[in-house]
Chain A
């Protein structure tokens, strides 16, 4: 049947090979290139099936340190018809691959172990299979049911010449795809970098404004401390209801002013936190109840709290409370007429990728998520981009201070959390707060009672008014008080007579609070020192804590707070 000099047949073979070799490399798209070649091949050679397999490194990016190519699996890259696709991956140790690596084409029965798993769908048990290596990292499998096709070794040798062309064209497609991938990655990296820049700018701006606000608040607090202190003392000694009523007004106004500076400080991230595990659902429930009482009855407040009673965040409960309240009040203000405010809480786990999306401001782990959603007027992108700036408000003068969200932002950040917002005009707004979860919960509690006590107190405070007020307060609580106006003076007084507790200011000319504390510790490791300040940055406070402190008091200091701090420092078995 095979006459090597059969001219007609030779001519037919050449014609066929000519057509097939031109069918390879007609497209730089891998699938299109393979389909065009395979379609011609199958039609002319009367084949049932063609599959193109490529080693994993053909389509996946692989670092220079990847495994040796012999250890890589092969994947099915193209198949016609898909009705007969069997397995789609071959492990590196599959027996077919050893033969492919020898780089010569070979024929094999369709039910032979090397290829049987590749041919699915049934109906291909008869006929012949042929496997053609596509160097450097692929191979082609053909199947023919027709008894005259792939029947001779010579036919396989002929086809090798064309499949070599296919192999080269596939490498071309892969190189093209790789280039496209690299371009896409570079683009992605560029947009990510732009995003990071933007986030950095935002953070820097907030930081600068925060410092400014913090500085103002510091001075303001000192003033308030003396006003409040004096007023409280006078209130105790006041005679007659008229005087008392007036003093109450003074105290009330001063407290409001203190709240405002508190917000400023919260925003500046400078205010130290009074940190405890706070069960968040309980806290949010309180906020919800409070909101319900303050909003118009046309607005419904819905709670959907799913954190559970044992889930807590490490934080300052009053600041967290005011943060959520602020979100709720903004939601209220955004709703015209009837509407709904929904507060949801649940737990989410953030991975590296999710943290990156949050601008790297959080690190991976478990987070409590609180979402405050309203059906209000929503925001356009310009408004949305500015809402966290202090003093930014779209509300009419007297209604908005523009400090609410700035404070929320500061509070959430100083709790190690993030806040994001989604909103479109007319479509309501949804604020999402993520706070890292801690382990041990604690019940919310609080009281206002000033507790008296006994012992010697040394006050180190540069501001004369504050010094006076604190002195009076301590005396009022039953303590013996010595006051000094600087770190140096304080140390001298301490050397003269050891007090039971030191009340230490931080910001002082000359020897500051931090250094004073260090010197105290050189003399006495045990002496309880309560830090009192209006404006301390967290790192500095941390450093002082490490030296050993017996508590922290935020100016302006309230009598009850001072009393509790002193009792606690003296080892009294009172709460906290």
Chain B
């Protein structure tokens, strides 16, 4: 099988830009500012900073933005996530600051709670580019946003990113740039090099096809012309060996998501998270009416293997990469529990290029799946290898 080649990078002809990062162990504004300053001192002011903040004891974001705006001399953007990833470890406290080359300043797209979304003027770049996309993972109109973003940039860039926010504390401002902290918004930052991408989840089909005969946005009201909950319950009960109650729904459902068919790729996962009125099922992400669905089942070994496959698929061909960005679904961590460490190890090992693996646990993942339609994924691992010769790690050892 052919791999997705980074577009426009001719090895040996152009010097690739360096990248760098620093882990911030203590969740203080000061810690983030110091990491940012050190990175800029090492790598210069010609880039941008991706600031990933872990949820536990997170510093006040407004204060963080003010301090960074005052002291960092480069544009920055970021968000709060359930955890950050460095190497094969996840951290629910502290965070990461990542130095990346920049193509223009990060753009804020607001109004993700509305139906029509205005994307500011942006253009891909001759020679390839990657759009890093952070969204408020709990915003209502994510599908419309991604549709509008793809309409604007098309295949001229590779897309990598995911949803910020907290499952614990619900909707609130969670993404930021030097312009402020935003809720119902997205941030798009362009890196002037085309990353190569890998997208996998490893959930396998249990039941299907089923037709979502009545839906509304992210709510499935009917499956096969019957109450969605009844159909789902009947399909899953045999496999899980438990009664599915409305209260205990999430406990069971986290292991049995829906899959939307996608040609040439795994199904796109739609996570049912709650039971709505009249036995409807509420999902993360929209389900179009008449969509043909499967019910998927998670087997830990297969999930771990799939994450590895995603990393392997993203391994740059032709251009070296010293930086591997990972957006991994928080629900995978919840499902795999202690075995989630195996997933991070599998990714690091499968790539086998010794690149620094950096990223976060997300509420929904974003990728162009190596070209094609831009979509929001659930329960998926999205890996981007950024072409680079050198990756600097600063901070006290």
Contacts and interface: CB of A to CB of B under 8 A. Distances in A.
B152 interface: yes
Contacts of A40: 288, 291
B126 to A, nearest CB: 8
B371 to A, nearest CB: 4
A502 interface: no
Interface in A182-232: none
A45 B373 CA distance: 9
Given A43-B262, A83-B154, A147 B373 contact: no
A152 to B, nearest CB: 11
B370 A146 contact: yes
A145 B369 contact: no
B2 interface: yes
Nearest to B157: A123
A18 B152 contact: no
A121 B122 CA distance: 13
A46 B150 contact: no
Contacts of A11: 209
Most buried by A among B147, B261, B264, B372: B372
Contacts of B369: 46
Interface in A128-145: 144-145
A99 interface: no
A48 B151 CA distance: 10
A44 interface: yes
Given A81-B150, A83-B152, A19 B291 contact: yes
A248 to B, nearest CB: 80
Given A19-B290, A19-B292, A144-B372, A46 B265 contact: yes
B117 interface: no
Interface residues of A, number: 34
B255 interface: no
B135 to A, nearest CB: 18
B260 A48 contact: no
B373 A42 contact: yes
A12 B154 contact: no
B211 interface: yes
B151 A47 contact: no
B7 interface: yes
Nearest to A8: B205
Interface in A1-49: 11-12, 15-16, 18-19, 22-23, 39-40, 42-49
A115 interface: no
Contact of B263 (A39, A45, A145): A45
A39 B151 CA distance: 11
Contact of A83 (B151, B289, B292, B371): B151
A15 B289 CA distance: 13
A165 to B, nearest CB: 13
A407 B236 CA distance: 92
Interface in B283-312: 288-292
B151 A146 contact: no
A436 to B, nearest CB: 49
A42 B371 CA distance: 12
Given A15-B292, A23-B290, A122 B262 contact: no
Most buried by B among A43, A45, A122: A43
Interface string B99-140: 000000000000000000000000010100000000000000
B194 to A, nearest CB: 9
Contacts of A39: 147, 288
A148 B369 CA distance: 13
B155 A15 contact: no
Given A23-B290, A123-B7, A44 B155 contact: no
Interface in B361-387: 369-373, 375
Contacts of A477: none
B153 interface: yes
Contacts of B211: 15, 18-19
Most buried by B among A46, A80, A147, A149: A46
B156 interface: yes
Nearest to B210: A15
Contact of B155 (A12, A18, A23, A123): A123
B154 A43 contact: no
A84 interface: yes
A47 B375 CA distance: 12
Nearest to B149: A81
Contacts of B264: 46, 146-149
Contacts of B126: 122
A424 B126 CA distance: 57
B124 A123 contact: yes
A46 B155 contact: no
A146 B371 CA distance: 7
Interface in B246-275: 260-265, 268
A149 B288 CA distance: 21
A82 B108 CA distance: 21
Contacts of A148: 263-264
A22 B290 contact: yes
Nearest to B262: A46
Interface in B189-238: 209, 211
A83 B372 contact: no
Given A121-B154, A147-B2, A43 B265 contact: no
Nearest to A144: B372
A146 B2 CA distance: 10
Contact of A46 (B152, B153, B156, B373): B373
A154 to B, nearest CB: 13
A122 B124 contact: yes
B152 to A, nearest CB: 6
Contact of A16 (B124, B261, B289, B373): B261
Contacts of B153: 81, 83
Most buried by A among B151, B152, B155: B155
Contact of A44 (B147, B156, B261, B289): B261
A43 B292 contact: no
A81 B260 contact: no
Contacts of B152: 81-83
Interface string B21-51: 0000000000000000000000000000000
A144 B368 CA distance: 12
Contact of B154 (A16, A45, A123, A127): A123
Nearest to A150: B263
Contact of B156 (A18, A23, A123, A127): A123
A124 interface: yes
A135 B156 CA distance: 32
A49 B372 CA distance: 8
Given A22-B290, A40-B291, 15 more contacts: A15-B292, A16-B263, A19-B211, A19-B261, A46-B373, A47-B372, A48-B372, A80-B151, A83-B124, A83-B155, A83-B156, A121-B124, A121-B155, A144-B372, A146-B372
Closest 8 CB pairs of A and B: A83-B154, A148-B264, A145-B371, A15-B292, A123-B155, A81-B151, A22-B290, A15-B209
Interface of A: 11-12, 15-16, 18-19, 22-23, 39-40, 42-49, 80-84, 121-124, 127, 144-149
15 contacts: A11-B209, A18-B292, A19-B288, A19-B292, A42-B373, A43-B375, A44-B260, A46-B263, A47-B373, A80-B151, A83-B124, A121-B154, A124-B155, A145-B371, A149-B264
